[in-house]
Homo-oligomer: A and B are copies of this chain.
Amino acid sequence: MKLYYSPYSPFSRKVRIAAAALGFGAELELTPTETINPDDPIRQKNPLGKIPTLETDDGDCIFDSAVIAAWLDAQAGGGRIIPRDPKARTRALVLESLADGLAEAAVLIIYESRFREPEERSGKWLAHQGEKIARALARLEQAPPALAGTPDIGQIALACALGYLDLRFSGEWRATHPRLVAWLDDFAETTPAFAATAA
């Protein structure tokens, strides 16, 4: 199976770590993608032109990252990174949404300079996205999710969101979120794919 991805995308990294945790790491054919290049094949695979997009050996294209992760979990028999127990499952999926929303806000801040001339940038918009990140970090710092054995998809998403803040914002979040820093260290230690997928 083929993963259309970028090494810098937190959502691509989430899928790569999920695949590794499920034992599919070697089967994932990594296909670098330029989403802003109109001639890149990604727009044929996913009309939204977004990564990650997974193309199965049958030629089906699967997106977004949450749907890919759920599909990989099902391929591995189910209940591995997406818990079967309803309460634990909802907790993992809501954490995935929170972490993805945090990463999405960070991506929108980066796009502000990538897509726009300096005079087209909006302090109001940047503040709106920055506040989402700050509130999500504050909530997560209160009680980082407990790690035990294979991480769930929420924990994987959280590690990738924090990794993206490290990559793009020089790890500024670290000074004020010591519990999350310790949590990410634990995650990295128990999940070697995290270091292996660093950009």
Q: Report the separation of the CA atoms of residues A117 and B46 in the bound assembly, to the nearest whole angstrom.
A: 32
Chain B: which residue is nearest A104 at the CB level? B48
A94 touches B (CB below 8 Å): yes
Copies of this chain present: 2
A66 to B: closest C-beta gap in Å: 7
Q: Report the separation of the CA atoms of residues A46 and B139 in the bound assembly, to the nearest whole angstrom.
A: 9
- Give the chain B neighbours of A62 by CB distance below 8 A: 90, 94
- Give the chain B neighbours of A67 by CB distance below 8 A: 90, 93-94, 96-97
Are B48 and A71 within 8 A (Cβ)?
Answer: no
A63 touches B (CB below 8 Å): yes
Chain A residues within 8 Å of B, Cβ to Cβ: 36, 43, 46-50, 60-64, 66-67, 70-71, 74, 86, 90, 93-94, 96-98, 101-102, 105, 111, 115-117, 119-122, 124-125, 128, 131-132, 135-136, 138-139
